[in-house]
Structure 1
């Protein structure tokens, strides 16, 4: 297996190799929008940002800031993460 090589970040950038393990959870005040087919289906200033070694940052949007209908439907499927749980 080939080892990944670190690339030094430029000014104003972050390196995924500097992120912690276990992951760190941060509040984010950035304006996050999800646009699907030209329609805003999520819009928040209250996202959570997850940082984990060798992974790109991930933003979690509060459920109340997501327009579920008609884009999402209930399912019996589930997933599990060792850090976040179900």
Structure 2
């Protein structure tokens, strides 16, 4: 069991060293970091934009309700 865990741990450490240590191959580490940061940034941008759309949609509904309430409350003179 311990040998299996040690083998899995060694593969994880080797993968980390392969992609995240800049002294081994600088370009590969930079590309990996840039990709990770890009994906995380896109995720947060998507979430922020989705939240903005909900806020704008709610504001649009509120404007329409206020407009409808004004039209009902205002008497029409002929």
TM range (shorter): under 0.3
Q: Which has the higher contact order (CA 8 A, sep 6+)?
A: 1
Decide which structure has greater strand share.
1
Please, what TM-score do these two structures have when normalized by structure 1? 0.20
Query: Which has the higher Rg, Structure 1 or Structure 2?
Result: 2
Decide which structure has greater helix share.
2
Please, what TM-score do these two structures have when normalized by structure 2? 0.21
